[in-house]
Amino acid sequence: MTDTLELSHWIGGEKVAGDRPGESHNPSDTRDIVARTPKGGAAEVDQAVVAATDAFEAWSEASPEVRFDVLDKAGSLIMERREQIGRLLSREEGKTVPEGIGETVRAARILKYFAGEALRAHGQNLASTRPGVEVQTYRQAVGVFGLITPWNFPIAIPAWKIAPAIAFGNTVVIKPAGPTPATAEALIAVLHEAGLPKGVVNMIIGDGDVGRAIVAHEGVTGISFTGSQGVGAGVAEGAVKRQARVQLEMGGKNPLIVLDDADLDRAVNIALDGSFFATGQRCTASSRLIVQDGIHDRFVAALAEKVAALRVGDALDPDTQMGPAVTEAQRDTSYKYIDIARESGGRIVTGGDRLTLDKPGWYVQPTLIADTAPDMRINTEEVFGPVASTIRVKSYEEALSVANGVEFGLSAGIVTSSLKHARDFQRRAKAGMTMVNLPTAGVDYHVPFGGSKKSSYGAREQGFAAVEFYTQIKTSYSAG
């Protein structure tokens, strides 16, 4: 794969491009330019918002069957092309081909799920407190949604924001992440091929200027953002200032507790998946492994062996088990935190060195760090790379208190054979999602997704909860 794609913005159903000063690279081999891109700004965002505003009335009033058909067909097209799109994703983002295809299939499933949701948006009918009066509630489309998406799920996250937005009759302006525009563009192109009317989904490629223009634009009535906590706080501020609705999905510092009564193999495999698959670049990744005394040494030794055996390499190579970091900056962040952990007394059990392979890519050694304390920076700040640290604890209560002791609260897991501890954990873990005997990462698409504390803000995403953010309730009173 060495062909370079020429990308365009999508405005009003047309591809629009002038110069293409930007590039996206293959992180497995940076000599490979995946795409050349235009660089949008406030002017392009404005054109896109005008197109989305113009398309809103007809789309929001269309039969839900029309919206079902577009989403269902787009889902089928993506499913048919999962190999091709999945490989493009792996080439541009760096996750392995099975991971890339898996994510593409997930995007297809999301589109099909929300096709059905278009038909299921329902309201309520109640008797009023006044005799002879009836009250009805129903859900209406809101307007134009600005969607700002990250690079780590470059097709699934655009799909899980676009699909509910348009299923419920809204229109969209999306800014895909800088490192992965080609994968997002594949989704936008398929939606149009599936019969999406002009202007319902618009995409502007560019950097933070595009995001800021979307957040500031008076015509954008709601904003959904997934990305870092720092950027998210600014998005919320900008949105609230002009009373746009806003939803944020941000970081995690997700704990995985391993109790003495856990099955060792199972615990090791769950930690390996949660911490290192997708190169650890998941906001749901298990980055703090909180391990009880009695199993601690066996767990650390067995996990280290598996981590050390992971084959790191070119994402497109079928033998690769872990691809590179997405960018030089992400790779350097992993290095930075490994150094910080080492300097503060963490013991590098495996990994930890700089990694150079036979081609220029942003490779990182998967790294396990033991003997860390809960308040070290490695355990309080998000790394977003293939780096996990272990914290030794004496009891379940201590494990729970360490698990809950950070400012994030996205996903939290426990490996145990004790029903009592599992049930207690489900109730008391301060996180939006809890996992018992499962990795903290890897979620279903038909149920709500989101966190507590600094991980999320606003209504939940995905599944049956998505209707809350992407519709507005109208309450109608009538007397005969």
Choosing from 94, 150, 169, 451, the residue that interacts with ligand UN1 (CB under 6 A) is 150
In this structure, are strands 411-415 and 433-436 parallel, antiparallel, or unpaired? parallel
Size of the site for ligand UN1 (CB under 6 A): 11
Minimum separation from the CB atom of position 152 to ligand UN1 (A):
5
**Residues from 55 through 114 that contact ligand UN1 (CB under 6 A):** none
Least distance (Å) between residue 251 CB and ligand UN1: 9
Q: Does 282 bind ligand UN1 (CB under 6 A)?
A: yes
In angstroms, how far is CA 287 from the centroid of its own chain? 16
Q: How far is the CB of 461 from ligand UN1 (least distance, A)?
A: 8
In the list 13, 116, 405, 442, the residue contacting ligand UN1 (rule: CB under 6 A) is 442
Based on the residue annotation, tell me whether 343 is a catalytic residue of this protein: no
Q: Please select the residue that binds ligand UN1; options are 29, 249, 314, 381, rule is CB under 6 A.
A: 249
Piece of 9-17, 147-155, 182-190, 255-263 that binds ligand UN1 (CB under 6 A): 147-155
Q: Is 412 helix (H, G, I), strand (E, B) or coil?
A: strand
Stretch that binds ligand UN1, among 135-143, 276-284, 292-300, 306-314 (CB under 6 A): 276-284
283 binds ligand UN1 (CB under 6 A): yes
Burial category of 287 from C-beta neighbours within 10 Å (exposed 0-12, middle 13-18, buried 19 and up):
buried
Q: Residue 448 Cβ, how far from ligand UN1 at the closest point, in Å? A: 12
Q: Pick the catalytic residue: 92, 99, 117, 249?
A: 249
Per-residue string for binding with ligand UN1, 182-221, x by CB under 6 A?
A: ----------------------------------------
Tell me if 226 contacts ligand UN1 by CB under 6 A.
yes
Least separation in angstroms between residue 145's CB and ligand UN1 is 17
Nearer to ligand UN1, 32 or 92 (CB): 92
- Contacting range for ligand UN1; rule: CB under 6 A; set: 20-28, 52-60, 232-240, 277-285: 277-285
**Element at 140 (helix H, strand E):** strand 133-141
Dist CA 231 CA 216 (whole Å): 14
Distance CA 420, CA 17 (A): 59
Farthest-apart Cα atoms in the chain, separation:
80
Pick the closer one to ligand UN1 by CB: 363 or 384: 384
55 vs 271, beta carbon nearer ligand UN1: 271
User: In angstroms, what is the minimal distance from the CB of 388 to ligand UN1?
Assistant: 15
Cβ within 8 Å of residue 127, ≥6 positions away? 133, 134, 135
Nearer residue to ligand UN1 within complex by CB, 219 or 222: 222
Rg (CA), the chain: 23
Torsion angle, alpha carbons of 215, 218, 219, 221, to 10:
60
Helical residues (DSSP H) of 171-256, grouped into ranges: 181-193, 208-216, 229-241
**Single-letter amino acid code for the residue at 361:** G
Q: What is the Cα–Cα distance from 179 to 24, expressed in whole angstroms?
A: 5
Alpha-carbon gap, residue 379 to 286, rounded angstroms:
11
- Select from 4-12, 82-90, 393-401, 437-445 the region that touches ligand UN1 (CB under 6 A): 437-445
Two structure tokens written together for 142: 């809101």
C-beta of residue 271 within 8 angstroms of C-beta of residue 296: no
DSSP 8-state code for residue 461 = B
* Minimum CB distance to ligand UN1, residue 444 (Å): 9
Q: Which is nearer to ligand UN1, 24 or 152 (CB)?
A: 152
**Coil vs helix vs strand at 415:** strand
Stretch that binds ligand UN1, among 52-60, 122-130, 148-156, 240-248 (CB under 6 A): 148-156
Is residue 152 within the footprint of ligand UN1 (CB under 6 A)?
Answer: yes
**Beta strands across the sheet bearing 33-37:** 5-6, 33-37, 22-25
* Bridge partners, residue 390, by sequence: 289
Residue 390's closest CA among 376, 408, 411, 404?
A: 376
Complex with ligand UN1: residue 93 or 249, whichever CB lies closer: 249
| CB 410 to ligand UN1: min, Å | 8
Q: Which stretch binds ligand UN1 (CB under 6 A): 79-87, 204-212, 385-393, 436-444?
A: 436-444
With respect to ligand UN1, which residue has the nearer C-beta, 170 or 226? 226
CB atoms within 10 A of CB 464: 13
Give the residue ranges of DSSP H helices in 94-204.
97-120, 156-167, 181-193
Q: Determine the Cα–Cα distance for residues 415 and 301; give it in Å rounded to an integer.
A: 17
Which one among 151, 153, 362, 363 touches ligand UN1, defined by CB under 6 A?
153
Query: Alpha-carbon distance 326 to 316, whole Å?
Result: 14
Rounded Cα–Cα distance for residues 275 and 322 (Å): 11
Identified binder of ligand UN1 from the candidate list 47, 284, 286, 389, rule CB under 6 A: 284
Q: Write down the least CB distance from residue 259 to ligand UN1, Å.
A: 23
Q: Which residues bind ligand UN1 (CB under 6 A)?
A: 150, 152-153, 226, 249, 282-284, 441-443
> Catalytic positions, please?
249
